[in-house]
């Protein structure tokens, strides 16, 4: 498995090795020792992944930007069917890249996986008719700890590849933020 840093060095892209023949293909999507070796080679501590999740969404669905503050989750994100624009936002208060974001197209076809470490908010936008997103987490989901930054926060200025208005859940709708948060949602969430 190859890995490379992105514009925010702690966010990594992984590409598994594909073994093909006339019957089809095989790829190993995760191996703890190789994952840890890549993290270490990029100046990070090894991280145990403890929970697997699957999310299915239709075209134009935008989910995020989600994070947990008390029990931050790192996420290793891949797409088993379809294509998404995957985004990580640095929300670590002491970070030199606080408020910066990186986004990459992750698909079943390109087989890329994106590592989003703890201390980052995560979101994605679906580019295909349907997308199945599979992600491993470094800590358990806690519903009472989940927080959201508005996907269109002007301080972040994420360049989403939107085709019209995105389909949002109630918690991801910017109107929710304008009613509940007096200033920038991002700054309120990470203070």
> Could you give the residue numbers annotated as active site?
66, 135
- Residue 171 to residues 18, 60, 79: CA-CA distances in angstroms? 38, 16, 23
Exposed/middle/buried for 113, CB within 10 Å: 0-12, 13-18, 19+?
A: buried
| Measured distance CA(86)–CA(32) in Å, rounded | 22
Dihedral pair phi/psi, residue 33, rounded to 5° = -65, -35
Q: Do the beta carbons of residue 151 and residue 64 sit within 8 Å?
A: yes
Sign, CA dihedral 20-25-31-37, equals positive
Q: What gap in Å lies between CA 31 and CA 38, rounded to an integer?
A: 11
Residue for token pair 């309120």 = 188
The CA distance from 65 to 92, in Å, is 14
């Amino acid at each position: 498995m190859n890995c490379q840093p992105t514009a925010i060095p702690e966010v990594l892209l992984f590409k598994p090795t594909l073994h093909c023949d006339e019957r089809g293909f095989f790829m190993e999507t995760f191996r703890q020792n190789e994952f840890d070796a890549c993290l270490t080679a990029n100046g990070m501590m090894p991280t145990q992944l403890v929970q697997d999740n699957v999310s299915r969404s239709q075209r134009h669905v935008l989910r995020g930007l989600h994070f947990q503050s008390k029990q931050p989750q790192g996420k290793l994100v891949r797409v088993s069917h379809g294509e998404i624009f995957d985004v990580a936002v640095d929300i670590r208060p002491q970070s030199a890249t606080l408020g910066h974001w990186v986004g990459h197209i992750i698909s079943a076809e390109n087989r890329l996986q994106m590592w989003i470490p703890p201390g980052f908010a995560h979101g994605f936008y679906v580019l295909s008719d349907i997308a199945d997103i599979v992600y491993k987490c470094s800590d358990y989901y806690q519903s009472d700890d989940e927080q959201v930054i508005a996907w269109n926060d002007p301080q972040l200025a994420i360049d989403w590849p939107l085709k019209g208005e995105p389909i949002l859940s109630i918690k991801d709708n910017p109107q929710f933020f304008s009613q509940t948060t007096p200033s920038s949602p991002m700054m309120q969430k990470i203070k």
